[in-house]
Every structure is written in C-alpha cells, then in structure tokens.
Structure 1
Amino acid sequence: MARPRKFDEQGVLRDVRDQFWAVGYEATSLDDLTRVSGLGRGSLYGAFGDKHKLFMRTLDDYVTDSCAGMRQSLDESERAIDGLRGFLMSGAGSLRQGCYLANSTTELAATDVEVAERARQAYEGIVGMVADAVKRAQREGDLPDGLDAVAFARTLQTAQQGLVYMGRSGLPAERLAGVAQDLADRLLSAR
C-alpha cells in the first residue's frame, strides 16, 4: 500500500514553477528541482513524473490561475473598457520576470509540440475572455459597434504581450508604463 504524501503539493509546485520561471526549463537541473522542492529525486518523480511532466503541471496551473484572475478582473470592472485598460496595462507590470506562459512559449514552443499546443489553447482562451469584454464595452457604448471583437481582442493581446516582452528586455519601468498608457489611449479611448 502506498504511503500518504507528507508535503505541501501546491507549495512544491509553486517553488518548482518559480525555479523554471527564474532560469528557464533547459537551465533547470534535477538538482535544482530537488533543492527548491525539498524532495528527493524518487519522491519528486513519484509524485509528479519526469521533469517535463512536472514543468507541464506548473504551466497548466499557472495558466488556470492567471486566466481565472483575468476573468475576474474583466468581469468585475465597473465598465468593460476599464477592465480592458487594466488588461493592457498589466503587460507593463511584469518587468524582468516576464510572464511564465510567454517565457515558456518563447523558450520551448518551437521544439516542444505539447508546450506549443498548450500555449495556443491558453492564448485563444485569453482572446475569448478579452473579446467578451470588448463586446460588453460595445454594449456600454465605449467601443464602436462595427469593431470585430475577436480581431480587436487579438490586437489587445498582442500589444499586452509586447509590453511583457519589452519589460523582460530591461526597458525602464517608467518608460514601459508610458508606452502602456499611450497604447491604452490610442486603442481604448472613449468614443
């Protein structure tokens, strides 16, 4: 009979994710994973599988949590246009660390089919959420009725991810915030 686990699974996943996030998948060794998790190799692999499965679990958890937070932020905005501005401006907040999904996509999607597919699904899910907010902003009179909500959501997502990328490159925070504000003013100005 298997022994019950005696560790905080979510805490281990968070610590492992932070290791991958800090240096990337390829640069993270098994020794790094055992160090940050506090688990031995056998326990780590017994609980989560190999390095790739562990990485995919952290990526899936990150996407789930991030999308839930994004959905809540968009849905709870008093006006949809404010939620869309917040979404766009959030790209200026990650700076050097970047976005775990974006970093993982950049590092692995060209060579890892599973990462590429998960990233595509995640980004399409984000586009769907943003498109819903665009439609709401149209109903509220803050965006033109004739605007293609899905196409515009992709534009906003691309702009937001561009801000993430520029923050990762070392652009100073105040300059990045200025670019984000300029994008918000140009793309999401009141009618």
Structure 2
Amino acid sequence: MDGYLRGAAVVAAAVCLAAGLGACGTGGESGGNASGGGGMRIGLLLPENQTARYEQFDRPLVERKVKELCGDCVVEYANGRGDAATQIRQMDSMINNGVEVVILGAVDVRSLRSAVEEARDADVPVVAYDRPVEGPVSAYVSYESETIGRVQGEALLKALGDRANGGQVVRWSGWRAPR
C-alpha cells in the first residue's frame, strides 16, 4: 500500500506543479514513452490533440516534473484524440501492461467510469487531471477556476475602461460536475 500511496503522491505533486503552467499553450501530436529508466511506470492519458496546450505544454511539463521528482520513473503517454472509446482502450492497455498510477485527462467524464473502477480493482491509483471524472479517483488536480474567472473579469473591465461604466460583465459556464 505504501507504493500505491507513493505513486499517487508523486503523480499528484508533479501534476500540481505542472498544471498551472500547462494552461498557457499551443500544440502538436505524439506518443510513446517519455522519461526515465527502471522506476515507477506512470500512465499519462490526455483527452485530445486539437487544443494545443495538451501536446505542447501539459505533456512536456508533466513529464519534466515527474523526471525531476523521480529520475528513474517512466511516463507512458497516450492521447484519446477526442474519442472516449479510444481512451478507454488506452487506459485498459496501460493497466494491463503494469503502470503503477494513471494521470487521466478524461475525454468524457462519465464514460471513463468503468476504466477508473478497473484501475481501482487493479490497485492503480487514478489522478483526475484538468477535469473531474466519475469513479473512485485517488486525487483530482485542476486549476483555480474561481480565481481565473475573477482575474479574467477584472482584465475585461480594465480593457473596456470608461466603456465599462454602468455595464455588466456576466460569466456563465454550462458545465456541471458529474453527480
């Protein structure tokens, strides 16, 4: 159980430290193993490759931070390319091939539930990354959305200057957390 918690702690720390920087980017496409040698095997599953940040920023930042925290750890990477069925197969493959922890940026927060349950049954902690996912996750790492919204609103008001006088800025999000 110590290895289980150690794995979740290493991954959560890496993702926490990299997540804030990851939201900045523009990107490409890739796959395969990234870092290290004979240490812990960490699965990194990102949701899609259309948003540049996942390939050009989030992935390299997570890999770099994992390597910094655990030099002999190996990051095994896959991208769901916006398809939940593909991501479920990728997660299943990682679990069956012996990853010790999974960082999961879910394509669809509901459809990955069975894969998260499979990971739990295999004693593989899952760190939900960037968005929550249904099922028994060990940790959830994301950005501070309320702070980001406040800062965005303040920047908008500042940019509007005198034109904002008497105006109203409304921020609405249609997203709801899964129940």
Larger helix share, 1 or 2: 1
Structure with bigger gyration radius: 1
TM score, norm. by length of structure 2: 0.26
TM score, norm. by length of structure 1: 0.25
Larger strand share, 1 or 2: 2
